[in-house]
Structure 1
């Protein structure tokens, strides 16, 4: 029975292994047939061959170990089957022998001795059969255990082969990574070599630059020594010049006192003559009307201008201001956006001096008196020149923005400047070194200013349309006339005959005569063709206080109003573009009194 059960279990185990192998082969066959059907549908045998080759290469590896295990198991099964058949035949022979012995023993029961001998022989045979059966069972069990161990070994071998395949794939990947790393190392080595070459080149350049720097430092040291020597020489020369200038200033002061005395005498004589001849000369010219064509240029007394006697291209671009000499000399100064101030002789219209300011910065205001010219501009400074030498003797710096207007005090020892930084400054220029003495602060940009005849009061016009009066001695604001013009005030002129009145021009295109005692306008002057187009548009008043003058910034016409009735007395048409600057002087030895400048830089001297 044990042998039969052992044989049955062995057969079952063999059939189980065969069925598993057949099932795996069937699945493999089914997947292969499905792939073949798909490929046959594509009608491309070359692609089918390539796919089968690739599939065979990829899919046979996992089944290789199974196939080898299956072959080993089949060999083992054949061996076991052979042994089983041999054991079965031996068992049949033994059973046949046992049956023969049993038959012989039954026939010989009558014979006691022979029966006993047969029984003993049968017993020995049975023992021998049992021992053989037991040995057979042990062999079968050993063979089954050996088969199980072989199967386990085959499985482990398959796993090891799979692991070896995975290790080979990993090794291949690592080889690829190693190759890439070697390529990277090669590239990095090349880059390192290039970087080292660049570094060596940079080091050479650096050494060259160090040598150059040392050379430049040596040159710089030499230049510093030379500069120190030059500075010492300049300081020494400057000290000598200061001593000479101080001596010259003392001499100038002495001469100035003499000149002041002569001017006083000259003014007294002129006032006496004006008092005798003013009314007759003026009214005779007015009554003559257009019959002034034969009048001599430079006629004495106050007269209405009619004809431009000198038309001068004073500047290449717009002229911003014009001003007569305050001491009655035959000189006039013009300022322009070309950064220059020019002084002209009113006798012949020739330029006497060309004075240059800050390069690229327009000149916004000029004044001249007693041999000095001042000009202010957008470079935040004011310059003072000597007309005779045409040299700048002072450059007044202290404003933070452009300087819009400037006036010389009557003694030529002081300058007053107004700026867009909302301050008015008084400067002392009586010595070789200027100094700032007074600063007036206010709330609006100063566009224009004028100084009273005694140089003690400053009248300023502002962008807010107001007029302010300042005391030069105390540095305080004396009066504030608000909103005299709807726009900004562009010009302020003191009345030459009435110290309580001033003439103003504003962006509202109206001229007003203002009484500073009542802070009211006693006269307003205008015309439908008159336009104040610029912040620097000026106005003028005749020396006798009877007429006012201003130019239109659009048409170029120059208007003359009578201050008695406020009517237009003259419209002078000679400029082709807008007029911004006008001046009505006292007239020097030739009597020329009216000058105008326009946006094209043209200066006209009228007679």
Structure 2
């Protein structure tokens, strides 16, 4: 009995021993795992400590940056406050300027209204003056005074007319009456009641044997000058052309009106009493020379294309055109009886309305008709004068 009990106890003890061995092996495995985990945790802890150190360093740097940014923010805040104050001042100034602009606009509108009213009044007065002028012309034609005006308009009495004994032949001037300094003069003309001779060097114009009143001349400054001969001072400066002025003429009916032609392809009619242009005629070829009719209503213009054109100066309408030259027209002259027009070109001289041409030399500059309509004088660029 005892042997069997011991045997059973031995078996139980063996079983317990086996269980203990198994438990010990399990514990060993757990110990190995825990040791490995401990090593891993230790390595992780070291890495985290390094990260913590790095983060502390970054935190320190971030704090420094934050301090710098805070200082910059304070400076920018101060700058913003200054800008806001300046903006308020600028806004106040803008409001003041806006008020001034509105006031100026209202004043400008008022001035424009006054100016338009004045222009309307001037137009009415001009219409009245034109009506009076037309009425005077009608009376002159009705009374037969127009022919008398044509005979006396240039102050010349023919030898075969009555009254020649009362006139003394004029002498050639020997001294210069006035010397007017100006720019290069291309053309000059005198008014009705002035006796003058003009020469045109590069920088001045000389007037010989003068009495009084106003000549006018073209120059290279796109303007015409009206000079008082008695004082030598410029009375009017007529501006309006955009290129060189090459021809001017004064109305023989009234010294009030002046006509000018320029290389801007325009002819302008000027009123010396008002001091501005009253009409403009446009054309396609530059004008070198021109002259006014005796009644002051028609302009004869010679152009670069060799044609002579007749214009109604009041309406600007082309009345007639003659192709008289094969080259540029250099001068236009009107006979005393208003029946012939003499034109000269760079290659020929032609009595246009009689359609007869005479080629004598080359490069003609100017030509004119004698008072008795019997002779023609022409000057050439070679220094010769032909009669």
TM-score, L = length of structure 1: 0.44
Residue 283 of structure 2 is aligned to residue 442 of structure 1: yes
| Secondary structure of the corresponding residue to residue 181 of structure 2 | coil
- How far apart in 1 are the matches of 2:267 and 2:155? 35
Q: Which residue of 1 aligns with 2:85?
A: 200
Aligned length: 362
CA contact (8 A) 1:493 1:502 kept: yes
- How far apart in 1 are the matches of 2:155 and 2:235? 34
CA contact (8 A) 1:317 1:336 kept: no
Deviation of the 1:449 alpha carbon: 0.8
How is 1:116-155 mapped onto 2 (pairs within 5 angstroms)? 117=2, 120-121=5-6, 124-155=9-40
Deviations 1:228-249 (A, max 9, x none): 8xx89xx8xx99xx8xx98xx9
| Secondary structure of the corresponding residue to residue 189 of structure 2 | strand
Q: Which residue of 1 aligns with 2:218?
A: 364
| Residue in structure 2 matching 1:502, options 315, 321, 342 | 342
Q: How has the CA–CA distance of structure 1 residues 539 and 154 changed in structure 2, closer, same or farther, with 3 Å as cutoff?
A: farther
Residue 196 of structure 2 is aligned to residue 331 of structure 1: yes
List alignment gaps of at least 5 residues for structure 1.
Answer: 1-115, 279-298, 356-362, 366-375, 564-607
Q: Which residue of 2 aligns with 1:13?
A: none
| Secondary structure of the corresponding residue to residue 140 of structure 1 | helix
Q: Which residue of 2 aligns with 1:73?
A: none
- How far apart in 2 are the matches of 1:354 and 1:520? 33
Q: Which residue of 1 aligns with 2:349?
A: 513
- How far apart in 2 are the matches of 1:407 and 1:401? 18
CA contact (8 A) 2:251 2:258 kept: yes
Q: Which residue of 2 aligns with 1:562?
A: 386
| Secondary structure of the corresponding residue to residue 493 of structure 1 | strand
- How far apart in 2 are the matches of 1:318 and 1:393? 18
CA contact (8 A) 1:540 1:550 kept: no
| Secondary structure of the corresponding residue to residue 524 of structure 1 | coil
Instruction: Kindly indicate which of the two structures has a greater share of residues assigned to helix.
Output: 1
TM-score, L = length of structure 2: 0.64
What CA RMSD, in Å, does the superposition of the two structures yield over aligned residues?
A: 5.8
Deviation of the 1:549 alpha carbon: 4.7
Q: Which residue of 2 aligns with 1:410?
A: 252
Deviations 1:225-269 (A, max 9, x none): xx98xx89xx8xx99xx8xx98xx99xx89xx8998986675799
How is 1:393-472 mapped onto 2 (pairs within 5 angstroms)? 404-412=246-254, 415-424=258-267, 435-436=278-279, 441-452=282-293, 458-464=299-305, 466-470=306-310, 472=312
List alignment gaps of at least 5 residues for structure 2.
Answer: none
Q: How has the CA–CA distance of structure 1 residues 195 and 460 changed in structure 2, closer, same or farther, with 3 Å as cutoff?
A: same
Deviation of the 1:193 alpha carbon: 0.8
Larger RCO (alpha carbons 8 Å, 6+ apart): 1
- How far apart in 2 are the matches of 1:546 and 1:139? 158
Deviation of the 1:322 alpha carbon: 2.6
Q: How has the CA–CA distance of structure 1 residues 479 and 265 changed in structure 2, closer, same or farther, with 3 Å as cutoff?
A: closer
Q: Which has the larger Rg?
A: 1
